[in-house]
Chains A and B, each alone.
Chain A
Amino acid sequence: KNEVEQSPQNLTAQEGEFITINCSYSVGISALHWLQQHPGGGIVSLFMLSSGKKKHGRLIATINIQEKHSSLHITASHPRDSAVYICAVSNYGGSQGNLIFGKGTKLSVKP
């Protein structure tokens, strides 16, 4: 059983659409990370959160600790948002970087 599940696996959207990517986890966590992996392979950390909601530009991340669920939203999507979005969790009691990763959601935004 995967400890971190993401949905959908693949997502195609038209430019301007509102996008939601979901992440569910089954372990106790100290933090949840949303990461963006570019087509070339590089990884960028978007958010780290342990409660509530965070916003950066057109990106919003929320987490519900009781339900063990997080969502990443992209408003007014753009083709440059095309990437793989990865949810990862830090086990409770472990170090921040000891992460369990989801398989990722491949997002393609069409102009």
Chain B
Amino acid sequence: EPEVTQTPSHQVTQMGQEVILRCVPISNHLYFYWYRQILGQKVEFLVSFYNNEISEKSEIFDDQFSVERPDGSNFTLKIRSTKLEDSAMYFCASSDQNRGEATNEKLFFGSGTQLSVL
């Protein structure tokens, strides 16, 4: 089965540093998403991306965050100046449908990047 891949699996950084989390979605998918999960808490939506632009974002996704599809395969999440509270597991996901018109379509998740900000 095709899969979404995320790199690195673990990232340690110093507070104030910039980090880039990378994702390679499934090749024919058109819709891309980032989520985060702080340890012990529920998963939270960050942003959705389609046709090379952000289509929706949550309140969490403030000016320190940005997303980009720099080429035909990668989808990146950049955190400009990391804070301690950015420590979390970050998940990327992709789909080829937006509103579930294909009744069997699901989201495909990557295995996550654990970000630790020291």
Contact = CB atoms under 8 A, between A and B. Distances in A.
B116 interface: no
A95 B107 contact: no
A46 B104 CA distance: 10
Chain A, interface residues (CB within 8 Å), range? 20 to 34
Interface stretch (B15-23, B71-79, B94-102): B94-102
Contacts, number: 81
B93 A41 contact: no
B87 interface: no
Contact of A98 (B42, B56, B114): B56
Interface string A81-103: 00000101010001111111111
B91 A100 contact: no
Q: Is the interface of A mostly helix, strand, loop or mixed?
A: strand
Contacts of B55: 95
Nearest to A98: B56
- Max chain A C-beta neighbours (<10 A), residue from B33, B44, B106, B112: B106
Contacts of B108: 45
27 contacts: A31-B99, A40-B111, A41-B89, A41-B114, A42-B111, A43-B91, A43-B112, A44-B109, A48-B100, A48-B107, A50-B100, A94-B56, A95-B31, A95-B50, A95-B55, A95-B56, A96-B31, A96-B98, A96-B107, A97-B93, A97-B95, A98-B48, A98-B58, A99-B45, A100-B45, A101-B44, A104-B42
Interface of A: 30-31, 33, 35, 40-48, 50, 86, 88, 90, 94-104
